[in-house]
Amino acid sequence: MSTPTPDARVEPVSSSTSLPEKARGMRVNGKNWHAPKKAFRPNAGQVSYAKRKEQDKIKQVTKARELEMKQEKEQERDRRIQAIKDRRKAKEEKERYDKMAEKMHRKLVERRKRREKRNKLLNS
């Protein structure tokens, strides 16, 4: 009986290794730069009704969430714009009262402020 030499080691082949693709010869039309064609399977992309309905539900939930986020963003924008408008209006009113105070007595200006505030509340 002969002993195996160190060069002739036999390693077990694992099943996870993929076999090399079978070597193909020349294409008939000679266009070897093109990818090889695969079999035409017209039903390959079809999805079951249940899966389609599940995808529709997921899409619907996503759309609802996007709409909600857009509305929140729009409300935040409107709130900021309204705050700016209110500040400008208050500044204009203050400037107007300051101008009145230059010409009139302070107490008369305060009385007019109160009267205008009352009228605003009644008219609104």
pLDDT-derived band at 19 (thresholds 50, 70, 90) equals low
| Rounded (10°) CA dihedral 86, 90, 92, 96 | 150
Q: Summarize pLDDT for 29-62 with one digit per residue, the tens.
A: 888 899 888 888 988 889 999 999 999 999 999 9
Q: What DSSP character marks residue 4? A: P
Rounded to whole angstroms, how far apart are CA atoms 44 and 20? 26
pTM here?
Answer: 0.48
Average pLDDT along the chain: 84
d(CA 99, CA 95): 6
8 Å CB contact between 97 and 109? yes
- Residue carrying structure tokens 């010869």: 25
